Structures are given as C-alpha cells and as structure tokens.
Chain A
C-alpha cells in the first residue's frame, strides 16, 4: 500500500517532466529503425533459408537480435531514469519527508524501484508490439518471444536496482548516472575476459550478458533467472542499508 503510494509518486514525477515522454519517443524510434533493418535482413535471407533443412526462423533472426539491441539502448537510458531517485531527494532535502513519515526504508526503496519498473514495463509493452506484429504474417515462436521478454524484464530490473543503489550514494544526479552507466557497462563487458577458453570462467559467469544471451536464445534455465533475481535482491538490500545508515550520525 505504502509502496504503491511511493511508486505512483515516482511515476507521476516522471510523466510530469518531459523526460518520460522523450525517452518513450526516442527509444521507440530507434528500436523501430533496428526492427526494420532486421526484418529487411530476414526478407533477403528468406529464399536461401527456404532451401535449408532446419533453418532458423523469424524469431531467431529478427526477435532475438532486436531484444539484444533493446538491451543496449536501455543500458544507456536506465541510468537517466534512476539517477534522480534518491540523490535529488537528498539534494532538495525532501528525503526528510519520507524519513519522518511512518514508512519503513524498505518500503521507500521498493516503492521507488517499483515506480521505475512500471515505467520500463510500459516501455517494453510498446516495444513488444513490433515483434508481435509479425504474428499477422509469419509463424512467430511465441515461447522464444516470451523468454526474450522475460530476459529483458529481468535485465531492466537489474539495471534499475544498480541505478537505485548508486543514486543512494550521492547527492548529484549526474554523478549517479555516470556511476550507474560505468557499473553496468563493466558488468556487460566482463565476459570479454572470460570467453577466450572453452570452459566459462568466473568472470564470464558473473557477466550480466552471458545469462541474457542464454535466455534470448529461448533456453529457459532457472539458474539464469535466479542469477538475475539474486542480483536485484543484492542491490535492493544494499540500497536499504545505505539509506538506513543515513540516520546514524556521521
């Protein structure tokens, strides 16, 4: 209840500024452009594919790369959404309002997280309309599409959790944005160091990318899902602890 009050307030704050609208428009535009490119690719490949036995379908050639692209675009966007969450409240001294209200720190943190997630799910819903439009003229692999959507949701939730935590560390929204972007990018490219050999190394396992790729290919393995859930949980707990420490004299 209290969580939803805070989530609704975050969502409202997003839509009151032009930011939410700008992000929706820009992301939609860029993703549509990529969608058309992938579709064009598929149409050119189609004659060859028809001759191959067991050829990859439209889901592997259009939907999977599209979702992979969306994740990169949102890697750049999510830090902009999360940067204000706590840092701006601290800067404007409005954090006191939340801290003096009969609300626990966990409710504040989860409420803020939920607010951003609702916005991102809205964004995802708009983006999904593009692959879904393929249902009219082709045989879209719905299972693979849904796994991809789940993967994207989990990935965005992880981005948001990191962004929220970095935002609790500073009073400057821009610092929070840069910090979040840095951490996310590092986690993204972590597997570069691990992909040289055949056996996956620890670094590759920690990379946020490896698990995403598995899910995108339609392989639903619970260990990948658990990786994301743990990732989200860790950063939410860190945020709660950081805000809790705010009350100690320092």
Chain B
C-alpha cells in the first residue's frame, strides 16, 4: 500500500484545464471519477433528501395517466399517483438494498474465498463445498420460502437484501479463491513464508493488496447487481412488499401495461435512475482500480496528449508501457 500511495504523489497532475479546480479536491486526476462521483452523489443525496421534500407517494387521484407537466413533473400512474414522488421513495429503497447487499456479499465472499484458499487443506475443501452448494441453491424459490416465513407486513427491504446477499456471494468467492490460489504459489509469498512472517501478515500485506482490484470491482458490482436483482425479483412479483423501490415501481408500471398504453413516463424514469447510478459506480470503479493498483494506472494516450507531448514522445512512452 505504501508504494501505491507514493506513486500517487509523484504522478503528474491531471491536465484537462477545465476540470482542474474540481479534480484538485479529489484523490485522483481522472475525469471518470469526477463524473462518476457527481452522478452517484446526486442520486444518493436525492435518495436521502428526496423522500423528505416530496409528498405522500400513495396519494391517489382521478387524474390517471397524466403526462409530465407542471403539476406532475413525471406524470401520474394508473391510479393517479405522482411518479416523481414515487421515484424519490424508490431511489431510497433501492439504495438501501444495494449498499446492504454490497457490504454483506463482499464480506462473505472474502471470508469464504480468500481465507480458505490461503490456508488450504480441509478448511479450503469445506469452504469450497459451502461455496459450491450456495451456488446451486435456486435463489427465487428460496426467496419465496423465506418470504413466507416472515409476516407479509415485515417483508421489507432488509429481508430482500439479506436474501440477495445470501444468494449472490458465492460467485465472487469462487473467483477470489481462484486468484488467491494463483497468488499464494508465487515466489514472493513463498519467500515471506520461509522468512517466518506470520500468516495474517502474509494474508494482509502480501496477498490482499493483489486482490483489491478484484474485490473493489466485486463490491461495486455487488451493489449494482443487488439493485438489478431486486428489480428482477420485483418484475417476477417477488419483491419487497409495501415499500417503494425502483423495482416495485417498474413492476407496477409493467403490470398496468404502462408502455402499451403510452405512459412511458411511468416506466422509463425508474430504469434510467438505475442505469445512471450503475454507470456512475462503474466510472468510480475504473478510478478506484487505478488508485489502488498501479498496474492499471499507466497513462492513456489522451492524457499524454494533454501534457503537450509530441507524437514521437507519446510513441516512446507507449513502448515503455508495453502498450
């Protein structure tokens, strides 16, 4: 980690003059990160503040399928509810699910994937077995089973999040295990073992940093996949009940044939929020990778151009980079 940080400080400053002032405040020079953070930040802020400033999402009216206008910024639903209001509540619901699942799934996959693979032996076999069994549990029926042991009025966001986490960590764990197996047989790991370093220290100092790009990307994708997974479950009619998530809004809109009846304003916005948030997280993910993993951080052609180098110099640099 120390070397990573040092490399950061010595790296040339970001050049794009228009974004320099914003970029300076942030730990990286990447415009991708800035854009990603702004979009994600706005959506998260909206998820927190939105529900406080809009009205009652259940408020019905006889003004059904009204197109967007000054009274209803995003139009109304079949029951005359305000779509803008519902999207505000839905964003909050989806974010809660996304972050809960992201954290749970990452912790679970790191525990089962890394620890087992490093320690090896019976523990590894056991963990790998658990991972593989978890992989073959059919998720959707499991949701129904769990859902029905919980009273309907308590079948909220957190339960869906828990179920999604339980059914989504195993894939990541398998990947982590494969990478760990590969890393632990490298010379430098063997060397530190021979030199008598403690197990936890090898794990944390030698192995974990190499796993971080994979894990960071897994965490970000766990969030996206949780939000998408919730939307998918809702689409099948198995989502959280009595709360708004972007998925439940989409489910309602689809079921009430919003698209067929021309009410695109009910169906398009919730999906767009998910898409924007997902894209923002991906952008952040690119930059996280570059910050923590120097290998990913070789400058791009466009960045070098902006430094004012000649084409000849760029070509030279590219040769050094091994393209």
Q: Do A and B come from one complex?
A: no
Binding site for B on A (CB under 8 A): none
